[in-house]
Structure formats: C-alpha cells, structure tokens
Structure 1
Amino acid sequence: MDVDAFMDSFRPYLEANRRTTNTVFQVSLNPSPEDRLTDGQFRDIAQEYMERMGYGNQPYIVFKHKDISREHLHIVSLRVDEQGRKINDSHEYDQSMSVLRELERKYDLHPSVKGHELTDREGLQKVNYSEGNVKQLISSVVRSCLRNYNCSSYGEFRTLLERFNVSAEECTGTVDGRNYAGIVYGTLTDDGYGIGTPFKSSRIGRDVGYKALQKYYERSKSELKLDGALNRLRQSVRNAMSPHNTRDEFRQLLKADGIDTIFRINPVGRIYGVTFIDHEAGIVANGSVLGKEFSANVFNELYPAPKNDKQVPEQHTAP
C-alpha cells in the first residue's frame, strides 16, 4: 500500500468532522532490546493495545522500525470516528500506562524500569493551556523528556521543555541561614510567554524535583561521553553548515533530519548561543558540547545578522 491508499482510508473520517484540530493519534511501542518478538507477536500487541485504548474500530497503520538499538512499532490512527465524533482522550496517559503494564505481563516482556512506559518521544505533544488539566499534561511532558532525552545541563533541559510549551525555573537561595533549591514548572504559549500559574515540582513528584534533575544531568553527561554518542548529530550539523545558506535554510536542512535548531539572539541580531535537539537519537546539546567548531561565535560569523535589519529574539524566558 502507498500513502494515497492510507489517506483514502482516513479521508471519510476527517471529512465527517472538520471542527476537531487534533485529529491524529500516534504512539510508539518500544519493548526492551532483550525482548525478541516475531512480526506476529508485534501485530498482536499493536492490535490489543489499540483495542484497549478505544481505537480498535478505527483505521490505523502499524510500522516496524529498526532505526534505533531495538525494534519498535509506530502506530498512527485518528481521534475522530466514522460518525464524526471525537474519541474521548481524557486520562489517556494513565490509561496507556495501565494497558502497557498488562501487555508486559501477558507477553512476558521485560518490565520498564520504575514503571516507565514503553512509549517513547513520538507521543510527546505541546501543552495547550486552554485544554485544562495542565498539571497532568506538564507532568506527562516532563517525565517523557526525562525518559527519552539526554540533557547535560539545566539550560538544555529547559530549552527542550520549551519546545513543548513547558517552562522550568530553578529557584535557589537562603532562608534563615538554610540553603534551598527547587524547580517551578509552568505553561507557555506558542510564542514562548508564560500563561497561567506556575507550580512547584513537589506537586508532581520527587522524580522531577531539583535533586532528581541534578542526578539526571550527570547521567546524561556520562551517556553523551560514550564513543559515538554524538557522531550523528555532529555530522548532520557539519553537513548543513555552509556560507551559502541562510539561518533559516540551515535550520530547515537539520529539521529534515529530525533535528531542531534553537539560536539565542540578542536585540541587535547577534547569535550568542545555539542548542540542537536530535529527536531521533534523544539528545539535546549546546553547540559547545559538540565542539569548538559548533560554538555560537562560529555560527554568528557564518550567519551574521542582515545589516539594518531589526532582530527579534527567538527565545523568550517565562517570568
């Protein structure tokens, strides 16, 4: 089958409801590398997962991928049924966790560490403040990012979260002679401005608090120091760097390779920082982490601000 055949299956559902904007359901199921599953077992797991999630009667496509260290499945379906009604997706994260736990036991799969799910970064979506249930949405994004990406610093982690409309602020200081440190999470608009009331990490759990994040940064540093860990990202960035490109063209080249580029630009247009997010490898790295040839100064010389062109900073910091 080709893409046109797939779309012919989806089109009647999409035409039955033109009001719903978030029409696509997508998920990735990732068994442990130690689990050796046949194609038949993969099909059974995918079918049972979709049925238990309420998408069993929907048209859906299942792909098997081998582009990371383990075989895994990508599933794409629709959130609109044949009558044009939107499928209820409230508490979908918790429901998915419960289903995955049951599938692990049924198919004798290696359990995920500390209850972490088999789904990976493919299911991450931006938080929409207007949808409500903000704390649960932020909790889902933060934990998914911690599971699926390596960030060796607070700045990199914050940059990653901002791609999903989540802010994270470190709060440190001294009260009555005692030092304190904490994390406050909040919601951002698509333009990068804070919206709603931020809340302390303790409202989610210790696993997303200040101390847990310090350990996470250290683990990420160790992972990124392994031989070859940054090779793909370095090579992709190197291939896209050219004095014949513009900043936007450079970013588009990397975007096609599954890599987001975030330039930090001052009011006069100078690049003073750059961060790369490799969504396929699950790596977030500042240019300085990749090496001197990828520093902000190098990119500022390669892509200087157009003369007499007023610049607007690309990244906002939530208050």
Structure 2
Amino acid sequence: MVTIIKMSHSIASILTYNENKVKTGAGQCIKAANFPLELEKLTFALKLNRFLNRAKLNEITKRNTVHISLNFHPLDNLSKEVLIEVADTYMEKIGFSKQPYLIYQHHDAGHPHLHIITTNIQRDGKRIDLHLLVVKKSEPARKEIEKVFGLVRAEGRKNKEAFSLDPIPTSKVRYGKIASMKAISNVLNRVLNTYKYCNLQDLNAVLKQYNVMADPGKEDSKMFTSKGLLYRILDEKGNTVGVPIKASNFYLQPTLKFLEEKFQNNTIIQSSDITSLKSSIEKVFIKTNYLSLNDFTIQLEKAGINTILTKNRQGILQSITYIDHKTHNVFSESALGERYSLRSIEEHYLLKTSNRTTIHKSEQKAKKI
C-alpha cells in the first residue's frame, strides 16, 4: 500500500474534485465518519459545511484540509467493506479517528485506491500538528496495516513499478470536449499541489503539457500591474482558444498571490532533488551513441524527464527547461548550472560529432594504408 498525504487551505476544491468523480461514475463515497447524518442524507452543502464549521474554530491555521490517498496493488483484491476497514484503521493510527472524514473509492486507475478528505482542526479549535505526520505516523501505520490485512508491501522497486502511484490521472485538455472550467480545474488540481516550480515560467512548462497556461497579461497591461491572472486553454499548436477564466473563479483560487507562496516554499524543498536530475542527465551524456540534441531529449524522456526548448522571436533556440516526472520538479537551466544549459549541451554533442568524424576518417585512412 502506498500512501500520499497533501495539505491544503481549500476544502471546497478537494471536495468538488471527489464529488465530480461520483457524478461521472468514476468514484463512490463509501463512508462519512463523524458526521451528524447518515451518508445517504448528506448533500454536497452539508459535507462542505461540516468542514467549514471546523475551520472557523481556528482561523489562524491556514492549512486546515488534509487530502489522503491510499493506493493498493492490483493483486490486493479488496471488497468495499475491507477498504473501509483499512481506511478507518489508518485514520485511527495517524490520530484522525475522531475527526470528520469522507472516504471515496475511485475507479479511474489501473489499481484500487481511496481518497480520504478530513481536517486537522479539532472540535475544541486546537489543530492536529501535521509536522512529520508522514514519517512519524503514516509510515508506521502503513507497514502495520500491510501486515494485518495481508497487503502487497510498498517497499521494493518491483512493487512500486507494478502500478501507477498517481492518484489523480489527468489527460490533455481538448477544447470543446468538456466545459473549460472543469477541464482546467482537473489540470490545476493535478499540477499545483504535485509539482514543485519556482516561478510562473516553470509552472507553465508543466501546465502546457496539458494544453493549459497561466497568463499574467502583458507587462504594460492593467492586469499585469494589478497582479491579476487568467487561465487559458491551448490547442495542439500552442495557440490560445476559448474564453480565459480568472484565477479567482476556481475553487482552489490559484491567484498570483497563491502561486507566489508556492514559489517560495518550492525553492526551499527543491534542492534535495537537483542531484537526482543531474545524475539522470549525466547518464545520457556518457552514452557515446547519442550525438544530437534530439537524441538527448528522447533519452531523457525515456527516463521520465521532459525537456522544454524555448525559442526567441527569431525562432532561435534559447534555453532548456527540465520537467522531472519522477520527483515532480521543474528546473530551468539556470537552476542547474552552466553544464546543463542548452548552449553547453549543444557544444557537448557538437564535440562528440566532431570526435566521431575524426575517428571515422582515421579508420578510413588506416584501411587505405
């Protein structure tokens, strides 16, 4: 079993995401714990208000929402009743058994998984400390539950590679297929709290993978000076289509102010993942049979790393951005250093090509002799 815990300040967006799964038949709410009414009698408003009323008891705490996903191996063929028992056991062991929480079973991935929504604000207004929740409580709980319920263990590379760990699968937005608001919301819910980006350019590098972009407007525009932000859908050629939507209109409210907080926090936590990306790039560098920038990007893609090549107005390649889908990081070339810049990479492969040509000529000359 693999557990993923995310903290947020917007219960509405998380609840909406899970309720939309129910509406489309891709999910089911299988339990409402510590709610005043039975599950069948709970409307969206009643569910939301239960959490909002708790949040009002401690308005100082901004991150008052906890979104948990429990991911099981495909071989863990568990009934709904057992899934509920596993979830309840997990919540008890991490100290949330007395909190109101909702359990959703999703059916949109290749492995069984649950989503649990809860709050860390207790009935007396005090908050449950989320610091080191994963290390001190979640991990021990996971290991014990695996033993008690006979689940496939999460440890080991083979088990982790046997199924996708992504609890919120997302596809590219196709304009006109579904409502723009819903389509963009799905992407924002997937990206904003999963990937680590340090500026708007890095964020857009990821969003554009899903045909979405965050637009602050031109530098001399009123929207730019007032720090407004629009979200737009892109077509396959990268052109904007449809009507843009204000950031404040989304439940998550991913405004520029919201993002700037993310930028600051991500800058701190990204540093530990730089080494991993550099190591992946170095492995491609040392392979002598790849002699072009195109080969370089293809090999990185096989390792789970996308590269975004930026051109200037004259159409000349200018810089490279790396999206590491293994660690969910976005790094510009300036963040990694000169060795991993576009100019350095082009020089690297130019030198390789030159060396290969020289060796080939030497071999031909030797044969003639």
Q: Output the TM-score relative to the length of structure 2.
A: 0.51
Residue 249 of structure 1 aligns with which residue? 295
1:232 maps to what in 2? 276
Q: Which moved more, 1:258-267 or 1:187-196?
A: 258-267
3-state DSSP class of the match of 1:264? Answer: strand
What residue in structure 1 maps to residue 115 of structure 2?
Answer: 100
Deviation at 1:192, TM superposition (A): 1.1
1:193 equivalent in alignment to 2:239:
yes
**Aligned residue number for residue 170 of structure 2:** 124
Structure 1 segment 243-282 matched on structure 2, within 5 A? 244-266=290-312, 270-282=316-328
In 2, the alpha carbon distance for the partners of 1:53 and 1:36 equals: 10
Aligned AA (2:116): R
Asked if structure 2 preserves the Cα contact closer than 8 Å seen for 1:261 and 1:276, the reply is: yes
Cα RMSD between the aligned structures?
A: 4.3
Kindly tell me: are residues 122 and 52 of structure 1, through their superposed partners in 2, closer, same or farther at Cα, counting changes over 3 Å? closer
SS at match of 1:281: coil
**Post-superposition offset of 1:287:** 1.4
| CA–CA distance in structure 1, aligned partners of residues 110 and 262 of structure 2 | 35
Any residues of structure 2 matched to 1:46-65 within 5 Å, and which? 52-53=105-106, 61-62=110-111
Structure with higher Rg: it is 2
The separation in 2 between residues aligned to 1:40 and 1:280, in whole angstroms, is: 24
Q: Aligned partner of 2:322: which letter? A: F
C-alpha distance after superposition, 1:153-211 (max 9, x if no partner): 11100111001000111136686xx9511111010112211111112111114631010
CA distance in 2, matches of 1:162, 1:36: 27
Structure 2 letter corresponding to 1:286: S
Closer, same or farther in 2 for the Cα pair 1:214/1:145, shift >3 Å?
same
Which structure shows the bigger proportion of residues in helix conformation? 2
Q: 1:147 to 1:37 in 2, by over 3 A?
A: same
Distance 2:313 2:190 in 1: 33
What percent of counterpart residues are identical? 20
Task: Answer yes or no: is the 8 Å Cα contact 2:320–2:341 preserved in 1.
Answer: yes
The verdict on how the C-alpha distance between 1:39 and 1:264 changes in structure 2, with shifts beyond 3 A counting, is closer
Alpha carbons of structure 1 residues 39 and 121: separation in structure 2 relative to 1, 3 Å? closer
Which letter does structure 2 place at the counterpart of 1:158? N
- Cα offset, 1:100, TM superposition: 2.1
TM-score by length of 1: 0.58
Q: Is the 8 A contact 1:121 1:279 kept in 2?
A: no
Q: Quote the residue 2:211 is aligned against.
A: 165
- Letter of the structure 2 residue corresponding to residue 142 of structure 1: L
Q: Go from structure 1 to structure 2 and tell me whether the alpha carbon gap of 1:46 and 1:270 turns closer, same or farther (over 3 Å shift).
A: farther
**1:218 aligns to 2:264 (yes or no):** yes
Q: Compute the displacement of 1:269 (Å).
A: 6.1
Alignment deviations for residues 64-109 of structure 1 (CA, whole Å, 9 cap, x no partner): xxxxxxxxx7x7xxxxxxxxxxxxxxxxxxxxxxx723799xxxxx
The answer to whether 1:298 aligns with 2:319 is no
Q: Trace 1:7-26 onto structure 2 (pairs within 5 A).
A: none
Residues 307 and 323 of structure 2 are in contact (CA less than 8 Å); yes or no, is this contact kept in structure 1?
A: yes
Offset, 1:258: 0.6
Residues 151 and 285, structure 1, Cα contact 8 Å, conserved in 2: yes
| C-alpha displacement of 1:301 | 2.6
- CA distance in structure 2 between the aligned counterparts of 1:268 and 1:211, rounded to whole angstroms: 33
Task: Letter of the 1:249 partner, please give it.
Answer: D
Q: Secondary structure at the match of 2:265?
A: helix
CA change 1:180–1:267 in 2 (3 A) is closer
Q: Distance in 2 between matches of 1:122 and 1:37?
A: 14
What secondary structure is seen at the aligned counterpart in 2 of 1:149? coil
Give the Cα separation in 1 of the matches to 2:192 and 2:273. 17
CA contact (8 A) 2:274 2:336 kept: yes
> Where do residues 129-140 of structure 1 align in structure 2 (5 Å cutoff)?
129-140=175-186
Structure 1 residues 203 and 302, CA gap change in structure 2 (3 angstroms): same
Deviations 1:237-288 (CA, angstroms, capped at 9, x unpaired) = 1222367422221111111111101111347664311011111110011111
Report the counterpart of residue 86 of structure 1 in structure 2. Answer: none
Does the aligned pair in 2 maintain the 1:170–1:181 contact within 8 Å?
A: yes
Q: Partner amino acid for 1:239?
A: K
> Structure 2 vs 1, CA of residues 259 and 193 (structure 1 numbering), >3 Å: closer, same or farther?
same
Distance in 2 of aligned mates of 1:293 and 1:53: 44
- Correspondence for 1:288 among 328, 334, 337: 334
1:146 is matched with which residue: 189, 192, 216?
Answer: 192
1:101 aligned counterpart, secondary structure: strand
| Equivalences, count | 224
